[in-house]
Amino acid sequence: MEFFLVHLSKYLFIAILFMSSTHATVSGIPSLDLEAKKISSNDIRAAKNLEDFYWSFRRRDTRSIKFNLARFKARKSKELKPYYELLKMGSRLHFKMKPRKITSCPKIDSRDNIWRSYTSLYKSKCESHNVNAVFKAKTLKDKGRNYLKNNFSLFSTYRNQKKLIRALKAWPKPDQQFVGNLLKDAVYQNKKLPHHSLLSYINIDPDFTLFIQKNRLFDKKNRGYITKEFTQLVKNFKSLYLKGKDDQAKEYLQNAISFYEQNSEHIDDSKAWLLFVTSGKKIARRDDFELAVDLFKLSEKTADEDQLFESKFQTLFSFYRDRELEKARSFIRNEELLDKFSLINSKLRFWIARIYEESKEYKRAKELYLEQIKTNPLSFYSILSLKNLRQLNPNYEVSLMVDAQEPNLNVSLQKELIKKATLFNIFELANTKTLSNFQAYDLRRLSANKFFKGLSTEESFKLKPYFLIRFFSGNQSHLHSFKVAYTNLNKGVIKLNNLVIKSLFPQKYRKRIQKAAPNIEDRVILSLIRQESAFNEKAKSVVGARGLMQIMPATGRQFKRNLRTKHLYSPQLNIKIGTKYLENLLRNYEGNLVFALAAYNAGPGNVRKWQKSIPFTEDVLTNVELIPFKETRKYVKLIYRNLFFYSLLDGSFDRLDFPVNNSFQIALNDEAKH
């Protein structure tokens, strides 16, 4: 028998906002011997005042602070009553912070995440106020000097250094000398020079000069100059090479390498790595794989751990594209990548396995594909690994990836968990997203032995993530559910089972999608919405895309005249416009999912440029890896991953058994096929 969580339906409690006497049962799994908590309309309204106070304090809005404090008190919410003291603390601090006056700042209170977050805000605003009070002073008095000395790290941040420079120009010489000594002490302590404009206030004696030389300290201006010089050498090489001036180009490359070796301590490694890798990719497009590999190997000298995996992948991928499979296997052996197989990332693991498969070393390829699936079952590359395994032997089942056993959640909850779950539901019903995020963090951080009655610590630890996944997904709080699932899958705490898959791939709005887009497989639209907005109809991106399918206003107006931006938050209209736009892209690219999704994410203009400049092939996986934008490359992979799992939930194995190229092809029909 399958046990389900009894969760609090948001829609059931719309009436709470209008009926003060209404109560309801808390969301959660069945509690056998604890009385269910009650939620009242006063709780909902108080939650709104609690969150509004947070943002009022951030803005230093006196009127709003007074209003929300008074209204919060008047609500008389039993569940939120403890936070009245928290708001009073913030209100008192707000009125104590007066211009040019240094105030005693509160400490961070960690009794729960709301207290921690609010008191952290209070402390931050108070410290910022005190720093500005010191800067505004015409001269440093004892209180100002003591605060500056005891909190000098606040004054020497990148954000405050320019303010400090302006203040020093106005302060008398004794104050300048006092700050100069503090700057000098900071250099000795941190082994880092301040902004070059502050160096003139430091008494630079022989010992200080020797310290700078011994520790090879250079200010950012000098480091920036050296990095810029190196960047220009690499750019000159790339420009000459692409113009066909090979001899001159290779001379510039050798100069760049020598320059880097002589000045490596003062060159930004991340910039150097990016220069080598992007140059290598452009050269590989011209089929000069030998020179490209040289650049990728150079990039390893400047790489951190993640970048190192990418450098090695680019080398391996170059051998693969050049069909130098023996060189590829030799590279794998020399780099001992099989010994490190479980430590490297999914992409590199998959391509190593594929190289062995195409080299007809099938036994080893199978072992590596199986290891990839075991290590990260939710990965795009694990899906491809399973597909390739089934091409080698149809007896390999989805059970390699998906665990058949589901956890038994028919257990009793402890009081502390019920209390925290109740608060989360209050914040969700009040649509106070800031508080919901704070409370979700608190639930995730709550010790496993405070979750369930009658279970050992080990049993509670294993069951906790499954409870949270179902709890959050039952509340339609998908991002929180995703976070718990991803974190615990990556740590190996939970297995990818039906419960986890259902929570990771919601099917909300499916009927609406089927009605709006009868010519497109509805799973494609679900997969896209899952990635674009996580089913948050109010989602807004940094570039201004809005709603479920993240439609830009300009795109929306192509399909609906007189469209106002706020209309894009309507699920019905957003899906109607988004599906029509995606259908047009699929028709333009003849059902090619890679190019259609790339155009949806990066724009059709960029895809046209890529098709002209990049040597795309008939191998769709190679084409995916050749997409220049990292974000778009990842986007295509993740939506394909989503599409696979939505198909799995529907009991469809077509995408698993289609050849890889075919599985990236979408058929458009005049009639719906669902």
Neighbours of 36 (CB within 10 A): 17
270: which 2 tokens?
A: 């991340």
For residue 446, which phi and psi values (nearest 5 degrees)?
Answer: -65, 135
Specify the DSSP element, H or E, that contains 309. Answer: helix 305-321
Residues in a beta bridge with 413: 452
292: which 2 tokens?
A: 């490209």
CA-CA distance, 386 to 329, in Å (whole number)? 22
Is 406 tagged catalytic? no
340: which 2 tokens?
A: 């490190």
Q: Please name the amino acid found at residue 113.
A: N
| First-residue to last-residue Cα distance in the chain | 29
3-state SS class at 224: helix
- Which residue among 79, 428, 521, 532 is the active-site one? 532
Contact status, residue 299 vs residue 318, Cβ threshold 8 Å: no
Q: Please name the amino acid found at residue 192.
A: K
Q: How many residues does the chain have?
A: 674
Burial string for 597-618 (b: 16+ CB within 10 Å, else e) reads: bbbbbbebebbeebeeeeebee
Contact status, residue 57 vs residue 65, Cβ threshold 8 Å: yes
Closest CA relative to residue 51, chosen from 31, 33, 35, 71:
71
CA-CA distance, 301 to 258, in Å (whole number)? 13
CA-CA distance, 659 to 673, in Å (whole number)? 21
CA-CA distance, 398 to 94, in Å (whole number)? 59
SS (H, E, C) 613-658: HCCCCCCHHHHHHHCCCHHHHHHHHHHHHHHHHHHHHCCCCHHHHC
CA-CA distance, 330 to 368, in Å (whole number)? 17
CA-CA distance, 55 to 52, in Å (whole number)? 5
Contact status, residue 519 vs residue 582, Cβ threshold 8 Å: no
CA-CA distance, 379 to 369, in Å (whole number)? 12
3-state SS class at 661: helix
Angle at 109 between CA 416 and CA 449, to 5 degrees: 25
Closest CA relative to residue 378, chosen from 350, 399, 396, 402:
402
CA-CA distance, 116 to 55, in Å (whole number)? 15
CA-CA distance, 80 to 59, in Å (whole number)? 23
Contact status, residue 373 vs residue 339, Cβ threshold 8 Å: no
129: which 2 tokens?
A: 């106020």
Q: Residues with catalytic annotation?
A: 532
